[in-house]
Structure 1
Amino acid sequence: DRIRAGMPVLGTCAGMIVLAARVEGGAPLFAVLDVTVRRNAYGRQVDSFEADVDVRGIDHPVRGVFIRAPRVEEVGADVEVLAEHEGHPVVLEQGNVVVASFHPELVGETALHEYVLRKV
């Protein structure tokens, strides 16, 4: 209820799955972001990797850790893609909801958190 009422929220990795309206092979939970996601789309644990991602609205590349990360397969008309990695959306925003396929916090990156805090 709070998210739908406008509380800013950041979902990273599994948080993206929890917030997505559609999950391939699964049931959505909060369904507050008009996207379809596929779980573990970047491979297994051993396929984990780090990458610098250029995010619109952030003045430096954001370092992200992709660990069994979800991939966005479909994006709704009201969803803004803020960043892509290898042609796939990895940071998205719809109103008060911001999501990332990766973990910025595992490398001490705070720019996405600060981006969301500016919405408060």
Structure 2
Amino acid sequence: MTPARPTIGVLALQGDVREHLAALEAGGAHAVTVRRLAELAAVDGLVLPGGESTTIDRLLRTFELREPLRERIAGGLPVYGSCAGMILLADRVLDGAPDQETLGGLDITVRRNAFGRQVESWEEDLPLEGVTAAGEDVRAVFIRAPWVEEAGPDVRVLARVGSGPAAGRIVAVRHGGLLATSFHPEITGDDRVHRYFVEMVRSQDGPPVDRPGGTTSTE
């Protein structure tokens, strides 16, 4: 049984690790960094932070974590991926690097850097199904972010962009114990997304995902 204060790791190879650790602690978890196989084996859930998805992919191989992490995802480990983490969880990636692979598990197609360059980063208040009450939207910060081009039939769409050129694009999804957002809730001081994930970990309701992991396609 998962404890009331679950141990949730943040993959600490690259990206905004410290912010996720703080948000998880505020959300009721015991937050730890994960860089080694023994650390991965000890967690009840895991966060894949923002950063650069191709760099994280290479580092997962260097630290010999890629296949063990795939196996834990397939075994039902709850995982939350933000921005680059969404890309890593996706079964299919558009505009990825030629040799880029993903961990897979989420039946989605994402477009890498869909919102443009870092100077084109932007923010919007969004309702997030299961997380926000009416009139209490989350502040979504998009930094070189992906969006979901296509979601499989069993994937719950939690949020879409509400305005601008990207209006209607999917930016938050969930399938069982896997959660992903295009945006970075960890940098806004709002811990509601992390509280939601902590509750997911406590409930351990994510079904095993038997897909072998994603591959990259390019356009």
Report the TM range for the smaller structure's normalisation: over 0.9
Give 1:48's aligned residue. 121
Give 2:140's aligned residue. 64
What TM-score do you get using the length of structure 1 for normalisation?
A: 0.94
CA distance in 1, matches of 2:189, 2:147: 23
Give 2:187's aligned residue. 106
Return the structure number with greater relative CO, CA threshold 8 A, min gap 6.
Answer: 1
CA distance in 1, matches of 2:190, 2:168: 22
* From 139, 153, 160, the counterpart of 1:84: 160
**Per the alignment, in what secondary structure is the counterpart of residue 119 of structure 1?**
helix
CA distance in 1, matches of 2:121, 2:177: 29
Q: Indicate if the aligned counterparts of 1:7 and 1:96 stay in contact, CA closer than 8 A.
A: yes
Greater Rg, structure 1 or structure 2? 2
**Per the alignment, in what secondary structure is the counterpart of residue 56 of structure 1?**
coil
Task: Point out 4+ residue stretches in structure 1 off by more than 4 angstroms.
Answer: none
More strand by share: 1
What TM-score do you get using the length of structure 2 for normalisation?
A: 0.53
Identity rate, percent? 51
Q: Indicate if the aligned counterparts of 1:17 and 1:28 stay in contact, CA closer than 8 A.
A: no
* From 78, 94, 116, the counterpart of 1:8: 78
Structure 1: state its 5+ residue gaps. none
**Number of residue pairs matched by the alignment:** 120
